[in-house]
Amino acid sequence: MGWYFGYMLVYVAFMFTLGFYYFKRVKTSKDYLIAGWNMGFWSIVGTIVSTFCGAAVFIGWVGMGFTVGLSGFFQFALPAIFFSILLIAVFAKPLRRQRLFTMADLFSERFGKKMGIIPSILSAFIYSVPTLALQIVGMTTVFTIAFGMEVTTGLIVAFALILGFTVLGGLPATIITDAIQSIILIVGILTLFIASLYYGGGLGNIVAETPIEFLTPVGPNGLTAVLLFALSVGPFYLIWQSTWQRIFASKTETIAKKAGITGFAIAGLISILPYSIGVIARSYVPADIHPDLLFSYVTAELLTPALGGIVLVGLLAALMTGATSFILQGSSNLTKDLYHHLINPNASDKKLMFVSRLTVVIISLLGLLVAFYLTNIIAMYQWALRLSAATLVFPFLAIMFWKRVTKTGVFSSMVLALIATLMYPYLGLNIDHTIFGLSVSFISLVGISLLTKHSDTEQVKAVYWEDLDSAKRRNMDEDTEHGIELNQKAVSD
């Protein structure tokens, strides 16, 4: 316990020192919620790695590796990485040029302020709150392993630490500490991986004792199951606001793109490890162990406190960074999309700062409430991803690429996809849940848009193509200016 306490005391002291530092420096809501659009390359890389590798990585993905083998990486992690990199590679520059705070801002600018309500509610309550709850539960697991803390006490302590740090420093403190926490996280997961190799008797013994289906990309459930699970996870990452925030927080478009791709490439490499740890553990842990308890069993029962403490602090770092990011995501939605846009458009920045911190408290309290009732980490996370993706992915793509899309079409599509996804379990359909939700979204979006006209509140444009046209015009202007300068020089010569 002494090792655990020492590691965690140093970590918490470091976090809150930086939190107080940024509490004094952050003066505006723009800085608090979006880091003033001013973060550098390594800060963005670090925060992406840390935010991506939260409770799902250390606890859920280790358990998933134990249950379905390495195919879990191809079902969950790889699709998430692929779609995240796709978002950054294709959309980082045009989105960065919009100078937005949230994804809902994109809907509001295209169709009018009220159209941001559904994306805001989905982002703040359907995604941010339950995923924050995952981080709180994960931190409780850490405190239970390290100190034998009761679950209720652990939940409250985790809530207090997360809330205190987030209220103090906002996104700037989160991003700066994430860069450092990403190193702690990597050290922690590597320590657990190496220890698992040791307890599994070495690579040769592990391969010999592990059924082949746990070592293949298709796993014990087959290719169809892998592809369907990947489809239920991957598309969400096109509209994952945590990545959008990192795009907006970057100092330049180039940093947003290069740092984003680098960060997710590193996160992808790291995410192979928890699935591998789960597979390896099959050779040395009780066969009837609950997958979500696998991490705590290995850390507490097999590792020495000196090594186990490193792993636990790595998990704590991953959980803290994920929690603060998800709180600020929800806070941005409530502050900018609902309060500023709809309730008080003329609010002063001082008022927005107050509301930002107040909504941090609200999201945190809701996350704590959900954490008390959370039982299945992977199922909860997948449900949040499925509902958000089915409702928002095609409307987002339409805003970016299709000028003909109408306000009525987008609104109807979001409502119908939301209802269809929620009703799916009661319909008895022989079709995948996510495919059904996405199909309803696409068909209703296209069909209703073609049958309706643009409203007076719309800015009729396809953001992606308009950005390309603007870039071409800028380049033409620059070429023209350069040509004039050359002609003037030639005349003067």
Evaluate if residue 218 carries a pLDDT over 70. Answer: yes
- pLDDT digits over 113-172, tens only? 888 888 888 888 888 888 888 888 888 888 888 888 898 999 999 999 888 888 876 766
Q: pLDDT tens across 77-118, in order?
A: 899 999 999 999 999 988 888 777 788 888 988 998 888 888
Residue 475: pLDDT band with limits 50, 70, 90: very low
DSSP one-letter string for 453-478: ---TT-----HHHHHHHHHHHHHHHH
Which residues is 250 bridged to in the sheet? 39
- Predicted local distance difference test score (pLDDT) of residue 36: 56
How is 282-300 classified by DSSP, letter by letter?
TTTS-TT--GGGHHHHIII
Contacts of 478 (CB under 8 A, 6+ apart): none
Highest mean pLDDT pick, 166-175, 180-189, 359-368, 381-390: 359-368
| SS3 state of residue 404 | coil
What is the C-alpha separation between 15 and 253, in angstroms, rounded?
29
* pLDDT tens digits, 28-83: 676 666 555 677 888 888 888 877 876 566 667 888 888 889 998 998 889 999 99
Phi and psi at residue 250, to the nearest 5°: -65, 145
Cβ partners under 8 Å of residue 41, min gap 6? 255, 258, 259, 262
For the record, the structure tokens of 97 come out as 């040029």
What pLDDT shows up at residue 491? Answer: 47
**Spatial distance between the Cα atoms of 133 and 377, rounded to a whole number of angstroms:** 9
Q: Give the count of alpha carbons within 13 A of 339, CB side only.
A: 20
- Integer-rounded Cα radius of gyration of the chain: 24
- Secondary structure letter of residue 116 according to DSSP: G
Hey, how many other C-beta atoms are within 10 angstroms of the C-beta on 475? 10
Amino acid at 284: Y
- Spell out the residues 6+ positions from residue 421 whose beta carbon is closer than 8 angstroms to its own: 386, 387, 390, 391, 433, 436, 437, 440
**Whole-number pLDDT of residue 229:** 83
The single residue listed with the structure tokens 């996870």 is: 233
Domain extents for the chain?
2-385
Backbone angles phi, psi at 415, to 5 degrees: -65, -45
- d(C-alpha 45, C-alpha 243), whole Å: 11
pLDDT of residue 37: 61
257-309, pLDDT tens digit by residue?
Answer: 999 999 999 999 988 998 999 899 888 888 777 776 777 777 777 778 888 78
pLDDT score of 416: 96
Q: Which fold has domain 2-385?
A: Sodium/glucose cotransporter (1.20.1730)
Strand runs (DSSP E) across 260-353, as ranges? none
Alpha carbons 129 and 142: distance in angstroms, whole number: 20
Query: Is residue 370 a contact partner of residue 130, using CB atoms and an 8 Å limit?
Result: yes
Which pLDDT tens digit goes with each residue over 430-446? 888 888 999 999 999 99
Phi, psi at 201, each rounded to 5°: 85, 20
User: Coil, helix or strand for 250?
Assistant: strand
According to DSSP, residue 57 is labeled I
271: tokens are 């995410």
Contacts of 485 (CB under 8 A, 6+ apart): none
Write down the residue that tokens 């949040």 correspond to: 384
pLDDT exceeds 90 at position 394: yes
Residue 378: pLDDT band (50, 70, 90) is low
pLDDT of 478 over the 50 cut: no
486 or 261: which carries more pLDDT confidence? 261
| Average pLDDT of the chain to the nearest whole number | 83
**Total residues found in the chain within this entry:** 493
Determine contact, residues 334/102, Cβ cutoff 8 Å: no
Residue 481 in this model has a pLDDT that exceeds 60: no
Q: What is the DSSP string of 410-457?
A: HHHHHHHHHHHHHHGGGT--SS-HHHHHHHHHHHHHHHHHHHS---TT
What does the alpha-carbon distance between residue 410 and residue 455 come to, in Å, rounded to a whole number? Answer: 12
Q: Is the dihedral of CA 411, 412, 413, 414 positive or negative?
A: positive
